[in-house]
Amino acid sequence: MKKTLFASAIVTALILSACGNSKEATETPKTDSTANTAAQDSTKAPEDKTKRESPPKEAAFDLNGVNVKVAWGSPKVKGREVWGKLVPYGEVWRSGANEATTIEFGSNAKVGGKDIPAGKYGFFSIPDKKEWTLIFNTRPDQWGAYEYEKEKDQLRISAKPEAGEMKEELEFFAENGKLYLAWEKLKVGFSVEAGK
């Protein structure tokens, strides 16, 4: 009886061992991982940008007969030193957070006394203590200023920064025919009027 049980156990072990070593029996078929990734991406819910640390904002203004729309990511001061530190002097800045800030002119305009065609522009700036360079770039849709190209500038103007009331969040506003960017205790603006 013991020999029979022993023999049965050996036969069973051999059968199980043979089945266990068969890759076809134990592995699931491999699939194209790029197809799976594409399928996952297409079902992924779009990002809720309002939950960002610097949520997107938009504003529209009528400045001297020109319809102007601005879209920007609105960062907060949060006790940080902004000018010259968080936003370095002498470097191209996206003039907001996340995607580049955009400014759209509904008709041909004069900006800071210079002509600019109707259209949507990436709005960048080069802040400095005494004077800023304000940039209207023909490539509006880009992330930050990482792919900014000077060759695609439509217009550059100079503007003087001014002291302003404390703004915890970056904002754009219109006042006396000018469009202003304001953040922390500083504002910088430029005139907008109808062009040719």
pLDDT of residue 16: 38
At residue 29, the 3 state secondary structure works out as coil
Closest to 155 in 3D by CA, of 111, 90, 118: 111
Taking the C-alpha atoms of residue 95 and residue 188, their distance in angstroms, rounded to an integer, is 11
At residue 33, the 3 state secondary structure works out as helix
Indicate the DSSP class of residue 131. Answer: -
pLDDT of residue 146: 87
> Cα torsion at 73, 131, 134, 153 (round to 10°)?
-130
Around Cβ 167, how many Cβ atoms within 10 Å? 18
Residues 102, 94, 74, 115: is their CA dihedral positive or negative? Answer: negative
List the pLDDT tens digit at each of the 196 positions of the chain: 444 444 444 444 433 344 444 333 323 333 343 344 444 455 676 776 666 677 899 999 999 999 999 999 999 999 999 999 999 999 999 999 989 999 999 999 999 999 999 999 999 999 999 999 999 999 999 888 888 999 999 999 999 999 999 999 999 999 999 999 999 999 999 999 999 8
What's the farthest any 2 CA atoms get from each other in the chain?
A: 109
pTM of the model: 0.74
Taking the C-alpha atoms of residue 135 and residue 156, their distance in angstroms, rounded to an integer, is 5
pLDDT of residue 37: 44
Tokens linked to 12:
């069973």
Taking the C-alpha atoms of residue 121 and residue 116, their distance in angstroms, rounded to an integer, is 10
Beta-ladder partners of 87 = 83
